[in-house]
Every structure is written in structure tokens, then in C-alpha cells.
Amino acid sequence: MIFRRLELRLLLVAASFWLVVAGLYAPLLAEEKPEAETELAAKIHKLTHAPHYRHAHWGMLFFDLNSGEVIYQKNADKLFAPASTTKCFTVATALDTLGADYRFRTPVYRQGDVTDAGELKGDLILVASGDLTMGGRTTEKGEIAFTNSDHTYATFSEDASLTSPDPLAGLNEIARQIAAAGIKKVSGNLLVDDRLFDHAEGSGSGPGNITPILINDNLIDFLIEPTEPGQPAKVTVRPETKLYTIKLEMQTVEKGTKGETWIRVENNQITLSGKIPAGRAPLLRIYEVPDPAGWARSLLIEALQRAGVEVAAPISIRHPEAKLPAKEEIEKLTRVAQLESPPFSENARLILKVSHNLHASTLPLLVAAHHGKRTLADGLRLEHAFLTKAGVEADAISFGGGAGGSRADYVTPKVTVELLVAMTGRKDFALYERAMPSLGVDGTLSKSIGPDSPARDKVHAKTGTLLWDDLLQGNSLLTSKALAGYMTTAKGRKLAFAAFVNGVHLRDGIGTKRIGDDLGKLAEIVYLEL
């Protein structure tokens, strides 16, 4: 199981494409064969053979980036469901295609003339660029804000939370620019051109509609705070809009009582009902809007009204059926506003830190659009080409999406480490590594080890969790728990690694957090031993 030296073979990669560091080789794996057990192997064996792993399958590979030595491997060339470690591949492809400094630019054009009185005798057209945050998470420093448990997971998470920036900040800036362009009234319509790529369905949990227009991840947030037992709970709705009538029926109940929430939607009325125990931390729940283009259009109309611009067209849940001009015709129109995003490296950081499924699912379509193509399949074929050129054994991989929730998603520890090693040769590697969750510090690894662990902040790695309901047993089957990234050990060795466990019954007090903690312990073991 343990090898002292990796059999080396130079990567055959075009120098114009890839900056290859000394010691970067493929394949990463010699034939697996037994060797004398070491203390490291004994500790890993003990962890991975706990009773709750009786029916599970483990695969892992730990590789020294400086010496080219395989530290430890198990089933490294076998396929495992990777869950959200899929995002390591997705983000790497997007970084290569778009570039770390790439900025989304979302323009608004006017179709028609503006009178001396400031009335636009025609329409405004916002052309969606695929901007994943549309200014709604941008901080004063120009970074994209995140919390360790993102609001997109609020349907099933008890600790999901909101970021502090105004989710409508980008639309407010667009409205300000339109007003500054001399437009005081829009007598025509306001339209959203969302034809950048073919719309699709996401492969992970959370919001599922993949389109090139996203405002607040196309969600309405309900932040529920308990008051006194017997009294209505305090509910904050974000973003504020008149698009829906909100009916609140949340009650505060006695401390220790089980809480529950329901969201019911009828036409343009959303009813939030249920109960929250007194003394509980604020609880977040979400509703995904059915038509992202109609959502963005209505919120922009309201932003224009706040900016003092009168708009004749009414807000509506659905985008109005209106024939948009051809793309080349729109580009000939007069531009009256444009929103520019932070650099794409910030999007990469958000996606990897919090495991943002919606944004990760969108990336292959953005890659496709960048190459003049339109479909998810186009984007994944381009990802295959990128991985092959990077020296990764792409033919060993199966992906059905960009987020890690597709039943088609399978990788090996070997190819995962090949990707991680290849990324160390790029100019944007520091940004790629920085985007990973830090063990015990932030993102999805913030609670995987205790605050006093010596491995705290020494591991930067992407997590993955995938489970399905087991109706036969009345519980869940953990299809995959995974961890892949980089580590600096106690003795200063720099490692790239991937570890997967597939097929764990979640019962008898064993949940996803316990398995995640075990992966944190695995990283801690390797850290201390090396």
C-alpha cells in the first residue's frame, strides 16, 4: 500500500498552454502492491475500519508535491462517486477558459429615442451575461461575500445564513446609471435577454434552474427569529419586493418544542407558516422563483422606480412574451448602463468555499458560451479537452454535470490528484488553492475539527457529500463523502490528496457530520505523521 518513490513519467503538455513545475508527472500511480505496514497505515486502517464502515468502500491517494512520492494509497485507480469534489474539476476548467481576472459585464440597451423631457419612447433590454452574483454579494473591498453555510442550502440546513451585502445592490447600480443617462420615464417595456446559453437543470441540491440571469440566486429568503412563546415570530423577507404578497403565520412556541415550517404558494401569494422554539438561533428558509427572467425584470423595474425613473410596464412573476431583437441587432443599440462584476477568482472562491451547487452547475454552460456553444454537453466536452491537455486521464472520469449531484459522476483518487498536481503549475494556482475551504477555519470545513487541532488551517480542500433516501431501511445511504485538496504537514511537506468513502448507512446515530469529522481526522493523522 505504501510506496517510497513514484515511478516518474514526464507530462507531455504544450508549453504555450501549461506552466509545468519541476516534479509534475503522469501517471501518479504505480501498480498497487503490499508493503510493510507503517504507523501511518495502521492509524488510517483503524479509522477506515470503524464498525459504521463495514459495508463502505474507501479510496485515497496522498502525494508529495516536492519529492514525487506517493505517501499512501488505497484503491486509487478505482471509480468513486465524488460528490461536490466534482467542483474541483469544474472550477479548474472555468478558470482556464475565462481566466482568474475575467469580469462579467451585464449591459442594458435602449430601443427607441429619448425625448427632451427624458421619456424613452421604447424598451429597455438587459442582456444577461451569466454573472453569478449580479452585485448582490459584493463587499466594499470588491470581494464576494460568503457564509460558512450558504442560504441556498436553507431548505434542509439548520444553520444556513445570509451575507450582509444588499442582494439588490447590482440592480440599484444599473438603475442609477439609467437615470444618470437622462432617462426619467420608460413608456415601453423592460425585457431580459436570457439567451446566452440553453437553460438546464442543476445536478445538486438547492436552486435548480440554470439560466444566465441570477438575482439573489433566484431566491426569496425568509429569516425567522423567535420572540416569546405564544407570540408571532419575527420574519424578515429578503429581497423586499411587491411582486409577491407575503402572508406570515409563524408562531413562537415553548423552548425545546420541535420546530417546523411550510411554504405554500398560490398565484402571487406566498404563505410561510409553522413554529419556531423560543431561544433558538434564527432559522432561514427559501423559496425559488419559477421564472428567473421575470424575477430580474420585476426587481429592476422596482429599482428604477426607487431611482426616480417612471416605468409604464407592470411587474409580473412571468417574463412577458415579447420578441427580442437578434443579438447582433441589440448590440447596435445605445447602451445606457453596464454592471461589472468582481474578478472570476472571487466566484471560484464562493463556489468552492460553500459548495455552491447552482453556480457550479452554471459553469459548464458558461464555458460552452465562451466557445460559441450552448449546451451542458458542449461544456463538459470542452472540460474533457481541458483535462486531457492538462495531463489528466480524462477518459477515466464520468460527469453528468458541474456540481457533483449527478448519478453519472464518478472519478478515481488518482485522476483527482492528477488534476490537483496539474493546477500547481498554473499562474493562478494560489487563487485556486485559496478558494478551497480551510480546515477548521471556513466554508464547509469550518467545523470538521476542533479549534485546538494542530492541523487547523493547514489543509485547504474541497468537501463532498451526497446521499439518497433509503426507503427500505427508513433512513439514508451516504453515497459519497469526499475530501480533495492540499496540505502542508507538520514537517513542512506539501501534499496533494484525495479521499473518498462511498456507501455508508446513516443510522444508529451515524450522520453526515460524523463521516465528515472522520475525514477531518484522516487529514489530521496524515498532517501529524508527516
pLDDT at res. 28: 57
The pLDDT of residue 122 is above 60: yes
pLDDT at res. 20: 40
pLDDT at res. 82: 98
pLDDT at res. 323: 86
Mean pLDDT of 119-144: 98
- pLDDT-based confidence at residue 428 (cuts at 50, 70, 90): very high
Longest CA pairwise span in the chain (Å): 86
pLDDT at res. 160: 97
Mean pLDDT of 201-217: 94
Q: What is the mean pLDDT of the chain?
A: 93
By mean pLDDT, which of 7-21, 54-68, 213-227, 486-500 is the weakest? Answer: 7-21
Residue 264 CA: distances (Å) to CA of 24, 60, 240, 244, 258: 55, 45, 18, 12, 20
The pLDDT of residue 294 is above 80: yes
Q: How far is Cα 316 from Cα 227, in angstroms, rounded to an integer?
A: 34
All three cell numbers of 405: 449531484
All three cell numbers of 338: 453596464
The closest of 463, 456, 473, 460 to 510, measured between CA atoms, is 473
Contact residues for 359 (Cβ-Cβ < 8 A; gap 6+)? 132, 347, 350, 351
Mean pLDDT of 415-424: 98
The pLDDT of residue 286 is above 80: yes
pLDDT at res. 518: 95
C-beta of residue 459 within 8 angstroms of C-beta of residue 485: yes
Alpha helices, DSSP H only, in 27-68? 39-48
- pLDDT-based confidence at residue 29 (cuts at 50, 70, 90): low
The pLDDT of residue 31 is above 90: no
The pLDDT of residue 499 is above 90: yes
